[in-house]
Structures are given as structure tokens and as C-alpha cells.
Chains A and B, each alone.
Chain A
């Protein structure tokens, strides 16, 4: 079939037939080929005859010729490079090969790169740097665009030249900051303490510590802006620890002026034991209400590789009361781990402190982690979740049940009599 077709095409190409073909003989002659493809080969025939074939290896010549001068300069033998330069070369080649590699790599980063134990670790680290670089670039670009817009706007206002007289002074950030600082200062004296336990440094990787500090900085910011801030304590804080260095990176000279209490002491030495409650997701006890007389402890830890029971172990060791947020009680949990970030914890606690409204407080749990708020008894919700999951994911029922069993303790199990 095909060969016949090919033969016919060849005949067509043989320059006698095109005329005939164009005169409507094709319908009888070529029952197999579509007019489309036929016209195609006819047209191609005109545009590119086999006699004037492309020089397919032209690119090789180009590549080689363009390099003659260069070759004479560089020694083609790869010399023994120093390891750093070698690593740089490798990175450059990877970048050329289309891997995610940042354009600029500092010496320090290069050293970190070389210390990565495995190839996959190296790739991961590079990807991280690459994305970081990209974010930076984008931010810069946005800033510039913003500035341009502002300039334009200014030009326009200068044209109109109508300065409005406002009865209010415009409050600049410094004034705001002063107000916040007054509040924070008040909280230092009268506020309810909130403890961040800074004893997890050895449980974390360098990057996790950096993330932890970022989250703490954010939490501190939220707290400062709150109506009724906590008095934040960083306990078990070692000077010149990794935490400390990271904080200095973020706050620079403001670190000394922060209105929080930083101490090397353990919280058990600072506060009476019976007032302390350690918040941890692994706790068997669930927090019912926010207690204004208690002192809550949050572990300053980011654990990307969910290490269960680390903070619970700390609380057990010191014999402290523990509590977990009542996530299951108020939220129909969907996916993800139940440990929240420190800034989310901070927001939740602040909201609870102000309003005692769980629903409002748990708004700060990431939306992707839950399907909705619980308004019905859990057993009914289970059915709904079943249905949702079956519809949404096409999961099998047992899987969904397993998932549910993982998320919800046994006491909610449907009684099967």
C-alpha cells in the first residue's frame, strides 16, 4: 500500500506527470493519497529539488571554523584546575546544559556546593540558589517599575498642582513605629508572656535554622502590630549560636533594641512550672480555651522531615503540661502536616487572646490544609469528606478511610454495633 503510494509519488515527481496531475487526473490515479499530501509533495518539488540538497553538516564546519582562532589560544588539554575553579566550570557547563543553575555564585556558596555529599544534594542546592536568584531579579524589576510609575504619577500631580489640605497629619512609619514600640514596651511590663523555646538548633539543618529565624522575625512583627501584644521570651538562647547569627543578619543593629526578653535560662527557671503549657502538635491533650494566666511555650523549630515527638519529648523531660491546637475539632482536615509555622501560631494565639473565637483564630491555618469549618458532628462530616474525596480524587473508599483514620483519633470512629 505504502510502497505503491511512494512509487506513485516518484512518478509524479518525474516531471512528466505534474501537468497531468494538475489537470484533474489525480482522483483516478491516486486513490490512496490525500490531495493535501499530494499538493504538498508537488509544492516541495518546486521549492527544494533533491539535486540541490542541503548541506547537512554545515553546522559542523561553522562550529569548527569559528573556533580555530580560539583553539590556538587555549590549550585543549584540560589542565588540573584548582578545585574551586573546577567546581565553577562544572556549574557553568550545567547551566549551559539547561539545568537550574544560578548565574552568579559566591565563593561561600561554591564551598557549600562542594560540600554537598551527593549529586542530588548538589542539584537541590543549585535549584534553591537559582530560584533565590530569580526571586531577587523579579523583585528588583518590580521595584523599578514601581518607581517609574511613581515618577509618572508625580509628574501628573505636579501638572495639576493642587495640594490638598488635610486636617490630619500624615502618619509616617516612624510615628507608627513609635506607637507600636510603646505598646510593646507596655507588654514588656504588663503583657502575658509567650515563650519561644530556642533549644532545637542541633535538631535542624542550617537551612531549617534560617527558616526558623525568618518565621520568628515575622512573628515578632505580628506581635508588635497587635492591639495587645505578648511579652515575647526567647528562652534557652545561646549567645553566638546559629540562631543568634541569623537574627543579626535580619535585624542588624536593631537586635539590641528589640522589645523582647532574650535569655539563656530555661523557661522552667524563669516561670513557675505549673503555669507553663508546651504547645506541640503531638500532644495527646487538646487545647479547649485560651488561658490568660498560663504561659504558652512554642518550640522554635522548622522540621521539614517531620520528626515526630521532638518537642513532646522536651515537655515530657521537664514534666510540663502539653497541649495541641484543636484543629480536628474545628476544621475538616484535608491534607498536610498539622504542625504550623511559627508566625501562624503567633497569629492564632494573638487572635485567641483578643477574641477567644476559635473560628476566627484558625483562619490563619493555610487554606490548602482544610476543607472547611466543622459545624456538624464529625461522623457526618466523615461521610461528606468521603464523598468529596471520591468525587474529587476518585480515590477508593478504603484509602479515604485510612486517610481519615490518620487524621482523626479513634474516638471518632463510627460505632459499628
Chain B
């Protein structure tokens, strides 16, 4: 009787919860309809995961076309929303995308439970007796996974841990054991709520019960303990987890933050260097916390370390986001007796900082870098595994001699790319406009194209081509060759002053380069040498965006620092660079 009302109450709540979602009622209906129109075979697939007596091969629950994509994405988004709500309750705002609690949840959620099937299970609000749990379990559609689903929903709803405890007690009484996965889920809940004593208890139990732990549990322990006064224990756990696998960056992050919090900067930096040595990429949060916690502290050693972090940003072409930038600024200004002053500014194409009139580094590569990059482009981009993939040896040789005889060019144009700029105009006219714009005062032009441009077709008129060939050199590659590779080669071969025109971002060519250092060089060179063009408005004129005169990286002259920063997630592509800068100078 009591339980009946309880379950009905729960059902009622679940229903409410379902309907206050942001679907209109019709959407709800559609959803139900969709879930009823599952072909029977797929239904079996669905359950085959969960039951031991499965009858069909499993299908990845994400892949099953049970719901049309749209619904599925909405459901995902609903889940995400739920997570956002919860992550807000975790202290310290996160900037990087994957909140580790979310990750932990994903980790603990075995794919056996189809994600959007049991999101409507409401955990009880009070601890229950064993009999009550039993009854709930019997009423659940798949009793085998009842506990798992229940714990997952507790994590999702952030239930009080007493409720989870009562469930664990019920399980322990029934089987005189609690499964490891359940313990991990319970641990997730404790970490979520910062229940330190519970975390320690779970650790003691696990330590005794299992010979080794897996990395997921370690991550949770480290995360949970690092925010408490037991943070030293988190460090020992980090040591332990190294025996199994390389710890995750979030584990390092938690430990470093804890060390910073307790003013153990030396320890924090040790961990940081260890992390770099293991090729674990530090999160921006870690770097930021160094600046946050060193505010107002003295010490040449510490300053050196923090400068080295800034140089790390420089070497890896990382741009700090706004809050990180503020941390850097405040730290600089807090150094006693140094009188650093920071200003926010925008830097124009000239590359002169309006605040301190300092000219930023230009984007030219050194001789060594330049020859290195040229070599790598020929080796990796043009030849790659097989020269025939992008061109052919004969063709490339012909092109090389062609370039050698005419070098140096000032501007190299990707003919086909430019010819598509205005879809309403004929392609050859587009190209002619561009060539006319650029062909001024003895600029040596090279236009790269393909052989089909020479055939007198509706898009490529012979007389227009003739006209252009008087103004610029042309090279026509085979129709099945890649012209971009030639573009890079000709530009590099002509020397540092040479620019190239294309709207292509050259991402695929960057990807051909095997190591990140060369990729960074490539991007730097690209920024300094690529002329982008856009058709303005209804396209009477072509607009050329000049390449950057200055290099967009963190840079210093000793008594000034210039740090580019981005508004959070504004520049999301690797070829985009921020325009906003933090200028720091010593008064």
C-alpha cells in the first residue's frame, strides 16, 4: 500500500520530469511513436546487450537507428544540459570542455545500458529498506541492471549519498558483496559532492578487496581528495596509478592545483614538468592556476618557471583565453618592486602595438627554418608515400625547371581557386579580374592551373586566356594532379618576399607534415605569405586581405611582453588568429 503510492508518486514525478523537458507535447508523442515503431529485430538487438540470454548480435546503441537523428541529438542535448547543471555545482569553473565528472559518468555508464532508455528513472529521496529496494527492483523492466541504472540516475540527480548507501547496503546484504562497478559509481557520487571521509572509506575497502585498481577509479580518488585537506593522499595515489598507466591530464591537473592551493609551488612545478616529460598535454586550467596562485609571491626561481610557461605557449602557438589572460596580467602587476603594467589592445596590420609603440616580431622564418620547411614540403606534401598520388615525377621535374627558369616570382596565384570566387561570372573572367588587380608596377605573377583551362570551353574563353598570359606566367598541371602542392613549391622557391593567393586554408597540406614543430612553422609561414581574397558585396570589386606583417605568438623583449588572447572559443580553427592582445611593459 505504502509502496504503491510511492511508486505511483514516482511515476508521476517521472512523467512530470519528462514533460517539462523542452519538447512540446507533439514532440513527446513523436518520440513515443518512434519508440514504438522499432522493428522487432532491432528491439531484440537492444536488449541483447543487457540480458545474458541474448538472441541477436549487439549493435552499438549509438548506431541503432531506433530514433531518427534529430530526436537522438535532442536527447543527447538534454543529457548534456543535465550535466551542465551539475557541473556548475562543482567548485572552480571549468574552461576546458570535458568536465571530468561528465567523463567519469560516461566511464561508469556501461554501453550495455542504452543511454536514452532509462533517463527517466527517478531515485528515491530517502534511504530505503531492503524490502523496498526489492520491490522497486521487481517493478523495474530489466531487474538485472536495476542497481546500475539506479546509481546512474542518482549520479545524474545528485542524490544525497545516504540514498546510495542504502542501496549499497541492500546489495551487500543480498550478495554479501558489492561489485566493483557499483563502488566506482558510488565513488563518483561522493566525488561529485566532495564527501571526503566517504571517499577515504571507499578507498580502504577497494584497497583490501582488489589487488590493483583501474585508472578510472584512481582518477576519481585523485579528483575527490585533491580538493580536501587529504590532498597529500591524492599525490600518493597519483604515484600508485603511474604503475598501471600514464595518469590522465585531469589527474595531474587536480594534483597540481592542490599543490598550488597549499603554496607548494615547487612540488606543483615538479609535477608539471613530469607531465610534460610524459607527453601529457597540460590543460589551460593548470597553467592558469600557476599564475593565480603565484600572485604576489617573490622569488626569481618562480618567475623563471612562469616565464617558461609563457614560452611554452609561444612554442606551441597556444593562445590563452580571456580569464587566463587576466590571471597573467594580474600576476605581472603583482610582482613586488617590478612595476609591470598591462593593457588590453588591438593590433592592426602594421604590427605596431598602439600602447607601447613596440614593433612586434615579423613573421619571417629564419634561414634554417625556411630551408627546413621547404625540404619538408617537398618531401611530405609533394612526394609523400608516392609521387604519383599528387603529381608524377616527370611533371614535377618539368615544373621545377619551369620555375628555375623564371624565378623569382612576387605573387603565385592558385588559378582555379580564384576563378570560382564569383559563381555568377565566368571563371576565366574572375581570374582575369584578379590578375588585373595584382599585375601592377612590374610584379612578377605566376598563375597555376590545369590543362582543361586551355580547352576553349564555355567557362574558359581562349581570348581571355591569351590576354592573361601576356601579363603573367602560367603553368598548367595535368587534370588529375594537385595544383596546391605546386603553389607551395613555387612560393617557397621564389624566396621570402613571395606571396601566394588562394582562399584555401591548406589544412590538408598541413596535415601531411608529420611533426608538430614543422606544422607550426607551416602555419607561421602561411600567415605571413598568404593573400586571402574575398568578393565584397554583390561583387563589383575583389578585396585582397594582406598577409600578416607580424607574427601572432606570445613574445617578449625582456621588458615588454605581448600576449595574444582569444575570447573563449571565438577562434576555433587552427588558421584563425586572435586580434586582441595583452601588452605588458615595465615602467
A binds B: yes
Q: Which residues of A contact B (CB under 8 A)?
A: 36-37, 39-40, 43-44, 46-48, 54-60, 62-64, 66-67, 71, 74, 76, 78, 86, 89-90, 93-94, 96-100, 119, 131, 134-135, 138, 203, 284, 308-310, 312-314, 316-317, 393-394, 416
Contact with A317, one of B2, B9, B176, B388 (Cβ below 8 angstroms): B388
- State the CA gap A376–B106 with chains docked (Å): 48
The answer to whether B205 and A97 touch across the interface, beta carbons within 8 angstroms, is no
B388 neighbours in A (Cβ, 8 Å):
309, 312-314, 316-317
The answer to whether B5 and A90 touch across the interface, beta carbons within 8 angstroms, is no
A134 neighbours in B (Cβ, 8 Å):
57-58
The answer to whether B211 and A56 touch across the interface, beta carbons within 8 angstroms, is no
The answer to whether B390 and A309 touch across the interface, beta carbons within 8 angstroms, is yes
Shortest Cβ distance from B126 into A: residue? A44
B479 neighbours in A (Cβ, 8 Å):
284
Known: A55-B169, A90-B245, A97-B217. 16 other contacts (CB 8 A): A40-B2, A40-B5, A59-B168, A59-B173, A62-B172, A63-B205, A71-B208, A93-B210, A96-B181, A98-B110, A119-B246, A138-B54, A310-B386, A312-B389, A393-B69, A416-B423
Contact with A93, one of B168, B172, B180 (Cβ below 8 angstroms): B180
Given the interface pairs A54-B127, A78-B211, the reply to whether A63 lies near B177 with Cβ below 8 Å is: yes
Sample of 14 A–B contacts (CB below 8 Å)? A36-B8, A39-B5, A48-B129, A56-B162, A58-B172, A62-B177, A63-B205, A93-B180, A93-B212, A97-B180, A97-B217, A98-B109, A98-B110, A312-B388
Given the interface pairs A54-B127, A78-B211, A97-B108, the reply to whether A131 lies near B58 with Cβ below 8 Å is: yes
A317 neighbours in B (Cβ, 8 Å):
386, 388, 392
Within 8 A of A (CB), among B1-56: 1-2, 5-6, 8-9, 12, 48, 54-56
The answer to whether A96 and B127 touch across the interface, beta carbons within 8 angstroms, is no
Given the interface pairs A43-B1, A64-B208, A119-B245, the reply to whether A316 lies near B184 with Cβ below 8 Å is: no
Chain A interface mostly helix, strand, loop or mixed?
helix
B184 neighbours in A (Cβ, 8 Å):
97-98
- State the CA gap A47–B124 with chains docked (Å): 15
- State the CA gap A351–B571 with chains docked (Å): 52
B107 neighbours in A (Cβ, 8 Å):
97, 99
A313 neighbours in B (Cβ, 8 Å):
386-389
Contact with A56, one of B48, B127, B215, B386 (Cβ below 8 angstroms): B127
B346 within 8 A of A: no
B401 within 8 A of A: no
B467 within 8 A of A: no
State how many angstroms separate the Cβ of B269 from the closest Cβ of chain A: 25
Q: How many A-B residue pairs have CB under 8 A?
A: 149
The answer to whether B180 and A312 touch across the interface, beta carbons within 8 angstroms, is no
State how many angstroms separate the Cβ of A369 from the closest Cβ of chain B: 15
State how many angstroms separate the Cβ of A131 from the closest Cβ of chain B: 7
State how many angstroms separate the Cβ of A91 from the closest Cβ of chain B: 9
Q: Mark B161-179, 1 if CB is under 8 A from A, else 0.
A: 0100110110111001111
B179 neighbours in A (Cβ, 8 Å):
96
- State the CA gap A134–B49 with chains docked (Å): 10
Given the interface pairs A71-B208, A416-B423, the reply to whether A100 lies near B111 with Cβ below 8 Å is: yes
The answer to whether B165 and A59 touch across the interface, beta carbons within 8 angstroms, is yes
A308 neighbours in B (Cβ, 8 Å):
389
B245 neighbours in A (Cβ, 8 Å):
90, 119
The answer to whether A63 and B162 touch across the interface, beta carbons within 8 angstroms, is no
- State the CA gap A62–B173 with chains docked (Å): 8
Q: Mark B92-125, 1 if CB is under 8 A from A, else 0.
A: 0000000000000001111110000000000000
The answer to whether A62 and B5 touch across the interface, beta carbons within 8 angstroms, is no
A66 neighbours in B (Cβ, 8 Å):
176-177
The answer to whether B169 and A54 touch across the interface, beta carbons within 8 angstroms, is yes
The answer to whether B9 and A37 touch across the interface, beta carbons within 8 angstroms, is yes
Within 8 A of A (CB), among B367-397: 385-390, 392
- State the CA gap A373–B338 with chains docked (Å): 75
Contact with B208, one of A76, A94, A138 (Cβ below 8 angstroms): A76
Shortest Cβ distance from A68 into B: residue? B208
B112 neighbours in A (Cβ, 8 Å):
98
The answer to whether B424 and A54 touch across the interface, beta carbons within 8 angstroms, is no
The answer to whether A89 and B165 touch across the interface, beta carbons within 8 angstroms, is no
Given the interface pairs A40-B6, A43-B5, the reply to whether A93 lies near B213 with Cβ below 8 Å is: yes
- State the CA gap A40–B176 with chains docked (Å): 31
B437 within 8 A of A: no
- State the CA gap A78–B218 with chains docked (Å): 15
B126 neighbours in A (Cβ, 8 Å):
44
Contact with A64, one of B9, B205, B244 (Cβ below 8 angstroms): B205
B243 within 8 A of A: yes
Contact with B12, one of A36, A58, A71, A119 (Cβ below 8 angstroms): A36
B278 neighbours in A (Cβ, 8 Å):
none
For the complex of A and B, 3 pairs with smallest distance between CB atoms: A313-B388, A43-B2, A98-B110
- State the CA gap A78–B212 with chains docked (Å): 7
The answer to whether B208 and A54 touch across the interface, beta carbons within 8 angstroms, is no
The answer to whether A96 and B180 touch across the interface, beta carbons within 8 angstroms, is yes
A119 neighbours in B (Cβ, 8 Å):
215, 245-246
State how many angstroms separate the Cβ of A10 from the closest Cβ of chain B: 15
B89 within 8 A of A: no
The answer to whether B201 and A74 touch across the interface, beta carbons within 8 angstroms, is no
State how many angstroms separate the Cβ of A299 from the closest Cβ of chain B: 13
Within 8 A of A (CB), among B180-197: 180-181, 184
A93 neighbours in B (Cβ, 8 Å):
180, 210, 212-214
- State the CA gap A66–B108 with chains docked (Å): 25
The answer to whether A58 and B111 touch across the interface, beta carbons within 8 angstroms, is no
Contact with B216, one of A62, A78, A97, A312 (Cβ below 8 angstroms): A97
Contact with A54, one of B1, B70, B110, B129 (Cβ below 8 angstroms): B129
State how many angstroms separate the Cβ of B219 from the closest Cβ of chain A: 11
Contact with B70, one of A40, A67, A394 (Cβ below 8 angstroms): A394
B209 within 8 A of A: yes
State how many angstroms separate the Cβ of B198 from the closest Cβ of chain A: 10
A89 neighbours in B (Cβ, 8 Å):
211-212
A309 neighbours in B (Cβ, 8 Å):
388-390
Contact with A98, one of B69, B108, B209 (Cβ below 8 angstroms): B108
The answer to whether B9 and A36 touch across the interface, beta carbons within 8 angstroms, is yes
B244 neighbours in A (Cβ, 8 Å):
86, 90
B541 within 8 A of A: no
B277 within 8 A of A: no
- State the CA gap A63–B180 with chains docked (Å): 11
Point out which of A62, A119, A312 has the most chain B C-beta atoms below 10 A from its C-beta. Answer: A62
Given the interface pairs A54-B129, A97-B217, A138-B54, the reply to whether A36 lies near B210 with Cβ below 8 Å is: no
- State the CA gap A66–B166 with chains docked (Å): 19
State how many angstroms separate the Cβ of A124 from the closest Cβ of chain B: 13
- State the CA gap A244–B388 with chains docked (Å): 27
B242 within 8 A of A: no
- State the CA gap A76–B424 with chains docked (Å): 77
The answer to whether B165 and A57 touch across the interface, beta carbons within 8 angstroms, is yes
Q: Mark B64-108, 1 if CB is under 8 A from A, else 0.
A: 000001100000000000000000000000000000000000011
B207 within 8 A of A: yes
- State the CA gap A74–B212 with chains docked (Å): 12
The answer to whether B166 and A90 touch across the interface, beta carbons within 8 angstroms, is no
Point out which of B109, B148, B213, B214 has the most chain A C-beta atoms below 10 A from its C-beta. Answer: B214
B455 within 8 A of A: no
Contact with B480, one of A67, A86, A312 (Cβ below 8 angstroms): A312
The answer to whether B2 and A44 touch across the interface, beta carbons within 8 angstroms, is yes
State how many angstroms separate the Cβ of B9 from the closest Cβ of chain A: 6
A44 neighbours in B (Cβ, 8 Å):
2, 6, 126
Shortest Cβ distance from B2 into A: residue? A43
A416 neighbours in B (Cβ, 8 Å):
423-424
